[in-house]
């Protein structure tokens, strides 16, 4: 197993935006790397491939898809192989490697990435075993630890930042119907002092809105910018939803305003943050905000790491046993002509000392069973 990772820890959004592959791009990459799994989120891009492919070749495929020369992201690239790649996946699925430690969204994203690969029909036993084991491990961490019992996400942090602006806060939310936007809307609605104006793509609202939420057509979004104390955008649009020119023309009242951009690639033109009274924060700025949550959950992370170690052992044993199956008949034939003492002497001669110690320990335990 090989994993190539471009995560938030090493790559800022200016790099990661090139690896926010569309569904069509992910499918094209998987056709070049049969059975591969591509995980693309706002905080990371990861490619998992079974067997022993050359990381350089995989990086070349990513380079072509991203439109970047390999040397342009080489310093951001993390490479994991063998059991380290599997352990990394387990940590990612459990939310330990997330910007916001313990967030739940990443498990859904891991399952969706695996589902895409499985639907393409080229995934092998190793990919199926590893990803199913990662999901099992994440569910066990969720059940057996408190890591996710006080759920915190980027959406939560964004809503909290908006809530800190005052006793009454007017928020313009762009992209409320999307995956991240809907989570932001839910978190904003939990703060009674926040009044929300959300954009929709049509005049029909698909659900009943609370009294403090109103919906406006997306095309009219900048008409509501002046009233907003905070503008949050979380879409998957390839174009800016907020430009400096449109914002300059839209805001007539001089007052402090907070812009929060949760999209990768960014929804808001960077120069928006240079307008008078405007403070802008993007997805990468939440890493510092999330640090307090990370420290508070450190004990839970330690518990989760212990579970990961146990589940990793189970997964590796499954993989090893699967690899042994084609040779089982031949092994049975050879062992039928061998005495137990002969087998032990054979193992002593072929294994190193640590391996033979493990076999000896297993044999002692076998001898102690009734």
Could you give the residue numbers annotated as active site?
42
Cis peptide before 265 (omega within 30 of 0): yes
CA distance 289 to 157: 8
The three-class DSSP label of residue 131 is: helix
Q: Are strands 169-174 and 230-233 parallel, antiparallel or unpaired?
A: parallel
CA distance 270 to 279: 11
Is 104 buried (19+), middle (13-18) or exposed (0-12) by CB count in 10 A?
Answer: middle
CA distance 13 to 131: 27
- Which residues, 6 or more positions from 243, have their beta carbon under 8 angstroms from its beta carbon? 269, 272
**Nearest partner of 264 among 5, 10, 15, 61, judged by Cα:** 15
Q: Could you write out the DSSP letters of every residue in 216-271?
A: EEGGGGGGGTTT-SEEEE----SS-SB-HHHHHHH--S---EEEEE--SS-SB-GG
CA distance 286 to 107: 20
Q: Where are the alpha helices (H) located in 33-178, listed in sequence order?
A: 55-66, 70-73, 82-94, 105-120, 125-144, 154-163
Query: What is the CB-side half-sphere exposure of residue 326 using CA atoms within 13 A?
Result: 3
Which helix (H) or strand (E) segment holds residue 47: the answer is strand 44-49
CA distance 94 to 363: 35
Q: Are residues 17 and 283 in contact, defined by beta-carbon separation less than 8 angstroms?
A: no
Provide the CA 249 distance to its chain's centre, in angstroms. 37
Report, in this order, helix, strand and coil percent for the chain, each rounded to 5: 55, 15, 30
The three-class DSSP label of residue 361 is: helix
């Amino acid at each position: 197993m090989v994993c190539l990772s471009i995560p938030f820890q090493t790559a800022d959004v200016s790099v990661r935006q090139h690896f926010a592959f569309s569904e069509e791009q992910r499918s094209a990459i998987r056709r070049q790397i049969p059975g591969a799994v591509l995980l693309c989120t706002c905080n990371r891009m990861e490619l998992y491939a079974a067997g022993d492919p050359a990381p350089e070749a995989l990086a070349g495929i990513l380079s072509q898809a991203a439109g970047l020369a390999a040397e342009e992201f080489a310093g951001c690239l993390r490479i994991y192989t063998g059991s380290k790649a599997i352990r990394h996946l387990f940590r990612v699925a459990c939310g330990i490697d997330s910007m916001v430690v313990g967030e739940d969204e990443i498990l859904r994203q891991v399952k969706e990435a695996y589902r895409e690969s499985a639907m393409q029909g080229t995934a092998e036993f190793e990919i199926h075993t590893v990803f199913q084991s990662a999901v099992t491990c994440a569910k066990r961490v969720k059940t057996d630890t408190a890591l996710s019992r006080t759920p915190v996400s980027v959406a939560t942090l964004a809503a909290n930042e908006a809530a800190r602006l005052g006793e009454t806060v007017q928020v313009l939310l762009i992209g409320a119907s999307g995956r991240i936007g809907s989570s932001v809307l839910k978190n904003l609605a939990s703060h009674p002092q926040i009044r929300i104006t959300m954009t929709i793509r049509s005049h029909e609202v698909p659900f009943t809105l609370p009294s403090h939420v109103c919906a406006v057509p997306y095309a009219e979004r900048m008409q509501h910018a002046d009233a907003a104390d905070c503008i949050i955008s979380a879409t998957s649009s390839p174009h800016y939803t907020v430009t400096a020119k449109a914002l300059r023309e839209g805001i007539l009242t001089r007052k402090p305003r907070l812009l929060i951009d949760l999209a990768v690639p960014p929804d808001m033109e960077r120069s928006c943050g240079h307008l008078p009274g405007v403070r802008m924060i993007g997805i990468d700025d939440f890493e510092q905000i999330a640090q307090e949550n990370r420290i508070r959950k450190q004990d839970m992370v330690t518990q989760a790491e212990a579970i990961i170690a146990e589940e990793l052992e189970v997964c590796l044993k499954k993989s090893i046993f699967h690899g042994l199956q084609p040779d089982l008949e031949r092994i049975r034939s050879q062992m039928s002509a061998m005495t137990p003492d002969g087998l032990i002497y054979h193992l002593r001669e072929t294994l190193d000392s640590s391996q033979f110690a493990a076999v000896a320990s297993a044999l002692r335990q076998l001898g102690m069973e009734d």
